Structure formats: structure tokens, C-alpha cells
Structure 1
């Protein structure tokens, strides 16, 4: 359960959709030591998804004929 809370904190921080009250209450109840590791993991996952989507689009347009 704590890992999911950390993931939620990191994702909302990445996208900037946090209210100050929830930000302060989350940091009062979370293990700060694990937070950087979860942030790096989530950044890697988001980057891998973006890379995968771009790779799929580039591969699909590379096999098109006529242009």
C-alpha cells in the first residue's frame, strides 16, 4: 500500500496537479528514503512508454509505400 502511495505522489508531482494540503499530508505519512528510487523508476517507465510509442509509429510509417 505504501508503494502505491509513493507512486501516486510521484505521478502527481510529475504532472503538477497537487494541492498544498494533500502535499503536506502525504509527506507527513510517507517514507522519504524510498521516494527518490520510486521517482527514478517512474521516470524510466514513462520514458520507456514514450520510446515504445514513437518506435511503433516510426516502424508503421517506415513500411508505408508511395511516399
Structure 2
């Protein structure tokens, strides 16, 4: 359950909008040692999804130019 809470904290921080009361409530019960690792893992996953989507779209666009 704490892992899901840390994932939610990281995703909200990437988005940038958060109520102060929710922010304080989450940080009262979070493991600050594991939080940077969760943030890096989520950032890598987001990067990989974007990278894959760009390569998928760029690959399909290059095959359509041959006609």
C-alpha cells in the first residue's frame, strides 16, 4: 500500500498540481529513502513509453513515403 502511495505522490509531482492538505497527509506517512528510486523508475517508464511511441509513429511514416 505504501508503494501505491509513493507512486501517486510521484505522479502528482510530475503533473504539478496538488492540494496542500493532500500533500502534507501523504508526506506524513511516506518512506523518504525509497521515494527517489520510485521517481526514477517512473521517469524511465514514461521515457520508454514516449520513446516507443515516437519510434512506432516514425517507423510507420517512413514506410508510407515510398508510394
TM-score range, shorter chain: over 0.9
**Deviation of 1:18 (Å):** 1.0
- Secondary structure of 2:32's counterpart equals coil
Unaligned runs of 5+ in 1: none
Verify: 1:48 aligned to 2:48, yes or no.
yes
Verify: 1:32 aligned to 2:14, yes or no.
no
Unaligned runs of 5+ in 2: none
**Segments of 4+ in structure 1 off by > 4 A?**
none
Distance in 2, matches of 1:19 and 1:41, equals 24
TM-score (norm 1): 0.93
TM-score (norm 2): 0.93
Count of aligned pairs? 66
C-alpha RMSD of the superposition? 0.8
